[in-house]
Copies of this chain bind each other. A is one copy, B any other.
């Protein structure tokens, strides 16, 4: 899912944080030849996400462990179900427990949060929900993956992927129209040109400048409806700013094509997952 060359440095850094000085407790209290099986169990209903990261954490501690992924990525799992299990030296399982869960709880938390937003859309809506660049530093590739695993969409990956002219760019550029035109002229032809607007007047300017996508920042519902009317298909409209599980259905009903939600990644609560260990005789 994510190339091992991309995943390994992320995992290795996390293990360095926790295991750089060894694992005092396991080495002192558990014999080297004690073998065990540990199962990750959902403690709430959740969307399973991050099984391959869970697996790789233990493999990067001890390549001789064996992992089984019982639930596929993106599956809705009820509280109490086994997600993934790992078998091997008890010390290796204990050493990786917290790091593996820290990843899995975050990834499943984001996927579950994303699914909740998607499920809150009106039935049959063609509006898509996307993440933003408000991701945890160092974990963007995992969090964007979790967003998609939850059923939402990814926005652009980073500052080099596509053009999005935000409020501060407009301040620095001096003018929406000029900014859009300069961007169109120089941007990779693979990138659409998106511009953020604060009100309907700016929307008109952006439409005239032929922006491909217009981000409507903190528009009220009636403003969103008017924006949809004015754009009438000439540009994709993206609503953003404080949209919640409670408000998303109404926002989608205005007809905007995209709703971006920073909270998908910056404020998703961790999913509750426990690791239950049993000895193998």
Contacts and interface: CB of A to CB of B under 8 A. Distances in A.
Number of copies: 6
B141 A25 contact: no
Contact of A13 (B128, B138, B276): B138
B4 A155 contact: no
Interface residues of A, number: 109
Contacts of A279: 171-172
Contacts of A20: 6, 16-17, 20, 141, 158, 160
A229 B101 CA distance: 34
Contact of A266 (B106, B162, B258): B106
A204 interface: no
25 contacts: A2-B22, A3-B62, A4-B62, A5-B11, A5-B16, A17-B135, A21-B161, A22-B144, A24-B163, A24-B188, A25-B163, A25-B164, A25-B183, A29-B179, A29-B183, A98-B134, A98-B159, A102-B136, A158-B160, A162-B162, A189-B213, A189-B236, A190-B192, A191-B191, A267-B270
